[in-house]
Chain A
Amino acid sequence: MKAATSGRRAAVDRAHSARTPATDHFLTELSGLLRGPRRVRAELVVEIADGVDDARSALQDNGIPAAEAERRALAEFGTAREIAAGLRAALAAGALRRLAVLGSLLPVLILGWASAWSRVPDTAARQLSGTLTGVLYSIGAALAAISIAALVVHRGRRILDRRALDRCRRLSVVLAGGLAAFLSIATVLTALNWSLFTFTMSHGFAIAVSVASLVLVPALCWACVGATVAATGAPKKEAA
């Protein structure tokens, strides 16, 4: 908790160097309410800090004293919670895009893995790889299913705007289509006893596909969690 708070404070500190406690408190609270990739959250806070500074400077240019200008600038922005609610849709859309890219790669990876290892003799290495990647694929597929269900069926329609929701639906179609295509191709290849692939596959390719799985599937899981949290996660009440 302390680490998370110090991380938020660091993002806020990067936002601007000369601020008063009121603006600092507003930005810290905003940073604590946002959900999504750290870099994107930090950028949003910097941008909002810029906006507060611009508004304050404009008011000061009109002869309003500094303290009053800051108070009005912050009042014009609204509460941190209101801003966070507006920005959450943007964060969720970015998280969904990452999920879509990684999710669409999953069927390709599973197919590549199955094809590659079918050429390798049934050794301990093959069994280990099979167990490991099988577990990873299962986790990835389960998380993808959970996040899509959470986004599309449950909270999605309340939190995401119509465009983002359409994107969710397209994503679920892409994932379902990809898995269906994979199953179809796998069935055909099984019927052909993998003869189309066995002469082209080598141990090297099999290992490369497994390593790619070890990287991509956890990334997919991370994207699933990120997308679900960004789109449906309730913000914390108050930054510490």
Chain B
Amino acid sequence: MILAVLEQAPAHGYAVIEAVRARTGGQVALTTGSVYPALRRLEQAGYLSGDWSTANGRRRRTYALTTGGRRQLHAERDRWRTFTEVVGRVLERPAT
């Protein structure tokens, strides 16, 4: 989800949380305590690049998707589509 949110534009940690909340209509709320370590892990894995920038007099660490991150996102999307399709076939009531 973090990679998907950052696909559109770079963002800082709390903006990622708000974007996920907005895109899921409040159904999914990532906890702040888990997002920041996750961002760092994704950065270490080469999926994100983090840079410090100054906005409104405050230094902020902003994360952007790397080429590797974009590839990983596409792969995760494919896996998710396959998973939901397969599970959907099982759960849906068979046509009579």
Decide if the interface of chain A is mainly helix, strand, loop or mixed: helix
User: How far, in angstroms, from A89 to B31 measured CA to CA in the complex?
Assistant: 18
Contact yes or no, B61 A47, CB < 8 A: yes
The total of chain B residues at the interface (CB under 8 A) is: 22
Given the complex, which residues of B lie within 8 Å of A83, measured CB to CB? 33, 36-37
Q: Is A68 an interface residue, CB under 8 A from the partner?
A: no
Contact yes or no, B31 A94, CB < 8 A: no
Given the complex, which residues of B lie within 8 Å of A43, measured CB to CB? 52, 61
Contact yes or no, B41 A90, CB < 8 A: yes
* Stretch of B1-9, B12-20, B79-87, B88-96 lying at the A interface: B12-20
Contact yes or no, B31 A51, CB < 8 A: no
Contact yes or no, B14 A58, CB < 8 A: yes
Given the complex, which residues of A lie within 8 Å of B70, measured CB to CB? none
**A50-B12, A50-B61, A51-B14 known; A77-B40 Cβ under 8 A:** no
Question: In chain A between 24 and 68, which residues have their CB closer than 8 angstroms to a CB of chain B?
Answer: 43-44, 46-48, 50-52, 54-55, 58
User: How far, in angstroms, from A83 to B14 measured CA to CA in the complex?
Assistant: 15
Q: Write the nearest CB–CB distance from B40 to chain A, whole angstroms.
A: 3
- Report the contact-size class of chain A (Cβ under 8 Å from the partner): 20 to 34
Interface 1/0 per residue, A72-89 and B, CB below 8 Å = 010011100011001101
Decide if the interface of chain B is mainly helix, strand, loop or mixed: helix
Q: Write the nearest CB–CB distance from B74 to chain A, whole angstroms.
A: 19
The 24 sampled A-B contact pairs (Cβ below 8 Å) are A43-B52, A43-B61, A44-B36, A47-B36, A50-B13, A50-B58, A50-B61, A51-B13, A51-B32, A54-B14, A78-B33, A83-B36, A83-B37, A86-B34, A86-B36, A86-B37, A87-B40, A89-B37, A89-B40, A90-B40, A90-B41, A90-B44, A93-B41, A163-B45
Taking Cβ atoms with an 8 Å cutoff, the residues of A that contact B are: 43-44, 46-48, 50-52, 54-55, 58, 73, 76-78, 82-83, 86-87, 89-90, 93-94, 161, 163-164
Q: Considering the complex of A and B, which 3 residue pairs feature the smallest CB-CB distances, nearest first?
A: A86-B37, A54-B14, A90-B40
Taking Cβ atoms with an 8 Å cutoff, the residues of B that contact A are: 12-14, 18, 31-38, 40-41, 43-45, 52, 58-61
